[in-house]
A and B are shown apart, each in its own frame.
Chain A
């Protein structure tokens, strides 16, 4: 029997058991995440055809909702859990070779639990349970940011922790207020009764909850922690934080707004906030000289873009937003993984030190270029159809407000193009310094500087996915459409949970 609860229970059990495996053999530990996420990926893929038909609602403990915690495995939940499992699997394969120092066993436990928390957030149907899984996600990322034990890592972990902890307290106050108002914690049950209370008294919990979740989702005024944390974590963790953690935060925000509160009157504000986030992120990224900080700011920009697309709130807009989200997850994890090995080889994060990379590490540079082009939105790659859909969706809305905003979005894309081309140009076409750097490694030992095979496998799987979906975007349409309709149709959600 395939039950969505296995998606959470099995990785959790494996994480608890990992220290025991460690007693048997020191080398088993690093393969456990691979096994766990391969399992999750298979389960998620098996569940996709079922959830396209109708959402699966699982009650934990055998009581009926709203009296127990329930998991809602709808198209959105399974789409996200498949995405988490896929990226988790690829990054854990990458980490087999990449993580060589420090308390490795602890790294793998925390990594496994981080993604388990993320899976829990996207599957749960209970708001307090969402808080608990959110804390699992956040606390393991605080610890992983500090994993290297270097000055910058510790410092940014402290910043991240303080802001995250304030956010969680706000979230908890909001949940307390909701419980006081409705006497229940089940999201569908709250959603059903939300109209019985005057909008003014619902507004405060809404703001508190969005503030709390927004810290993790890096929405504009709350994202001060992100560039530091993402740039000083190990690259495999940066890939997960940029590729999974903030997207899951965004998912939670969107779920709260769309499903629980049904707050259609704040979409304009959210779209504005999204574009603001986009512009701030892209402009800061443009002025960076450190590659990981540049990628981190670019993540902020992309989150803004996704938030903008989702708050168009037509089925077209939401579909394009989810598509952009997937394309960002794949491209950004690819970029961080590729950049991780380049940093490892050069020992520096400064963009000028990547001169001549196209010769010294041709495969990795190629992968980086594919990721960058996809993120900018060039045609053969996955970023193109998603950005195209966003523009189409915003124009189809037909309001002046959205038309103006989409102009700003295109402006942001231009900036994005500018800084990514700068990096690519440095890697391939920089005449200076090639003799100084590339001469030794490149000529005497051709290919000897290339990343290891274990690390290249996941990188090229990501490249294949980006190109494949870019060429044939119809592949994703089915699941994206039903995911969008799940988000937009809250009555269907309520009905499927409460019966």
Chain B
């Protein structure tokens, strides 16, 4: 019964969407704003990766909101799970084998380095703060799985998270005080396709990388710690 009702409901929604999709043909350019970004993006922001220039400059306010969402998730997860912190871990897990342990220890700095590369070069190549941050977090996941018993200090992630968020807001406020616009790209843009270019974009993206990395690592840490 439930299934039939659901299918009927979904059918109605599908019909409506198909009607409306008829006006949005696939593979045809329908942009107005996007074309402007492609044409002007490189001069106005100095970033070779247009997606980055949108994420960190044109629509940086969204990005600020987005890291806030992740921050809320990390804090909220901590709040929801916190009352169980009192239970100490009951049983010790069996230690990982030597091969696994050494392999994880060996891979960990490499993955960290890769993540850092991704978010430092966000304005030149595909990738950026989110992707790099996620990769950094997955390095920590590897450590949790491979080298049991190790964990990052909670205060450390907290401080990095807060500082990175503050850097973003302060950069925005500096733009407000220098040029009258919040998140204005007030630093010199430099020549495109060079590492030190694009003004505030690398700074903000590195801050995002740290923040996303530490928040996702904190989420994993919280869940793993609870699950012992």
Q: List chain A positions with a Cβ less than 8 A from chain B.
A: 1, 3, 5, 9, 12-13, 15-20, 23, 58-63, 66-69, 102-103, 106-107, 109-110, 113, 116-117, 120, 126, 128-129, 132-133, 135-136, 139-140, 142-144, 146-147, 149, 154, 157, 173, 177, 180-186, 189, 197-198, 200-201, 203-205, 207
Chain B residue, CB-CB nearest to A200: B19
Q: In the complex, what's the smallest C-beta–C-beta distance from B100 to chain A, in angstroms?
A: 34
The stretch that binds A, out of B62-70, B108-116, B126-134, B139-147, is B62-70
Bound complex: CA A482 to CA B2 (Å): 49
Whether B19 contacts A12 by the Cβ 8 Å rule is: no
Q: With A3-B176, A107-B79 known to touch, is A61 a contact of B68 (CB < 8 Å)? A: no
Over the window 177-191 of chain B, the binary record of Cβ atoms lying under 8 Å from chain A Cβ atoms (1 yes, 0 no) is: 001111111000000
Bound complex: CA A129 to CA B36 (Å): 19
B34 CB within 8 Å of chain A: yes
Bound complex: CA A12 to CA B176 (Å): 15
Q: With A60-B181, A177-B24, A197-B23 known to touch, is A106 a contact of B169 (CB < 8 Å)? A: no
Whether B32 contacts A5 by the Cβ 8 Å rule is: no
Chain B residue, CB-CB nearest to A116: B68
Whether A16 contacts B76 by the Cβ 8 Å rule is: no
Q: With A17-B162, A143-B80 known to touch, is A201 a contact of B20 (CB < 8 Å)? A: yes
B224 CB within 8 Å of chain A: no
B60 CB within 8 Å of chain A: yes
Bound complex: CA A5 to CA B73 (Å): 24
From A102, A143, A200, B72 is in contact (CB under 8 Å) with: A143
Q: With A63-B58, A120-B65 known to touch, is A143 a contact of B166 (CB < 8 Å)? A: no
Over the window 183-217 of chain B, the binary record of Cβ atoms lying under 8 Å from chain A Cβ atoms (1 yes, 0 no) is: 11100000000000000000000000000000000
Whether A136 contacts B68 by the Cβ 8 Å rule is: yes
Whether A183 contacts B62 by the Cβ 8 Å rule is: no
A sample of 22 inter-chain contacts (CB < 8 A) reads A12-B165, A13-B173, A15-B68, A15-B71, A17-B162, A20-B159, A20-B166, A58-B181, A58-B182, A61-B175, A62-B181, A69-B61, A102-B79, A102-B82, A103-B79, A107-B79, A113-B72, A126-B61, A135-B69, A136-B72, A180-B24, A207-B16
Whether A61 contacts B76 by the Cβ 8 Å rule is: no
Bound complex: CA A200 to CA B166 (Å): 46
Interface residue ranges of B48-98 to A (CB < 8 Å): 57-62, 64-66, 68-69, 71-73, 75-80, 82-83
Whether A183 contacts B34 by the Cβ 8 Å rule is: yes
Q: In the complex, what's the smallest C-beta–C-beta distance from A216 to chain B, in angstroms?
A: 15
Whether B182 contacts A110 by the Cβ 8 Å rule is: no
A residues in contact with B64, CB < 8 Å: 12
B residues in contact with A13, CB < 8 Å: 165-166, 169-170, 173
A residues in contact with B61, CB < 8 Å: 60-61, 69, 126, 129
Whether A12 contacts B169 by the Cβ 8 Å rule is: yes
Supplied contacts A20-B163, A102-B83, A189-B32, 13 more A-B pairs, CB within 8 Å: A9-B176, A16-B161, A19-B158, A23-B158, A61-B182, A62-B179, A67-B37, A132-B66, A135-B65, A139-B69, A183-B34, A200-B19, A201-B20
The 8 tightest CB contacts between A and B, nearest first, are A143-B76, A16-B165, A180-B24, A204-B20, A183-B32, A132-B65, A62-B181, A13-B169
Q: With A17-B166, A59-B181, A61-B57 known to touch, is A183 a contact of B72 (CB < 8 Å)? A: no
Q: List chain B positions with a Cβ less than 8 A from chain A.
A: 16-17, 19-24, 30-34, 36-37, 44, 57-62, 64-66, 68-69, 71-73, 75-80, 82-83, 155, 158-159, 161-163, 165-166, 169-170, 172-173, 175-176, 179-185
Whether A204 contacts B162 by the Cβ 8 Å rule is: no
Whether B24 contacts A60 by the Cβ 8 Å rule is: no
Whether A139 contacts B72 by the Cβ 8 Å rule is: yes
Bound complex: CA A185 to CA B20 (Å): 18
Q: Chain A CB within 10 Å — which of B24, B75, B175, B183 has the most?
A: B75
Bound complex: CA A23 to CA B30 (Å): 51
Chain B residue, CB-CB nearest to A4: B182
B residues in contact with A135, CB < 8 Å: 65, 69
From A66, A103, A116, A198, B82 is in contact (CB under 8 Å) with: A103
Q: With A20-B159, A69-B59 known to touch, is A146 a contact of B80 (CB < 8 Å)? A: yes
Whether B76 contacts A106 by the Cβ 8 Å rule is: yes
A residues in contact with B65, CB < 8 Å: 117, 120, 129, 132-133, 135-136
B residues in contact with A197, CB < 8 Å: 23
From B73, B172, B175, B180, A139 is in contact (CB under 8 Å) with: B73
B residues in contact with A139, CB < 8 Å: 69, 72-73, 76
Whether A68 contacts B79 by the Cβ 8 Å rule is: no
B residues in contact with A186, CB < 8 Å: 33
Bound complex: CA A80 to CA B75 (Å): 27
B residues in contact with A107, CB < 8 Å: 79
Chain A residue, CB-CB nearest to B58: A68
Bound complex: CA A52 to CA B33 (Å): 31
Bound complex: CA A363 to CA B180 (Å): 48
Whether B182 contacts A132 by the Cβ 8 Å rule is: no
Bound complex: CA A143 to CA B219 (Å): 14
Bound complex: CA A142 to CA B36 (Å): 38
B residues in contact with A61, CB < 8 Å: 57-58, 60-61, 175, 181-185
Whether A184 contacts B32 by the Cβ 8 Å rule is: yes
From B75, B80, B181, B182, A109 is in contact (CB under 8 Å) with: B75
B residues in contact with A63, CB < 8 Å: 44, 58
Whether B22 contacts A136 by the Cβ 8 Å rule is: no
Chain B residue, CB-CB nearest to A3: B176
Q: With A3-B176, A17-B162, A183-B33 known to touch, is A12 a contact of B68 (CB < 8 Å)? A: yes
Bound complex: CA A468 to CA B169 (Å): 39
Q: With A136-B65, A139-B73, A197-B23 known to touch, is A62 a contact of B175 (CB < 8 Å)? A: yes
Q: In the complex, what's the smallest C-beta–C-beta distance from B85 to chain A, in angstroms?
A: 9
Chain B residue, CB-CB nearest to A146: B80
Chain A residue, CB-CB nearest to B183: A61
A residues in contact with B57, CB < 8 Å: 61
Q: Chain A CB within 10 Å — which of B22, B166, B181 has the most?
A: B181
Chain A residue, CB-CB nearest to B68: A136
Chain A residue, CB-CB nearest to B57: A61
Q: In the complex, what's the smallest C-beta–C-beta distance from B205 to chain A, in angstroms?
A: 15
Bound complex: CA A173 to CA B21 (Å): 11
Bound complex: CA A135 to CA B73 (Å): 11
Chain B residue, CB-CB nearest to A63: B58
Q: In the complex, what's the smallest C-beta–C-beta distance from B22 to chain A, in angstroms?
A: 7
Bound complex: CA A136 to CA B163 (Å): 20
Q: Chain B CB within 10 Å — which of A63, A113, A139 has the most?
A: A63
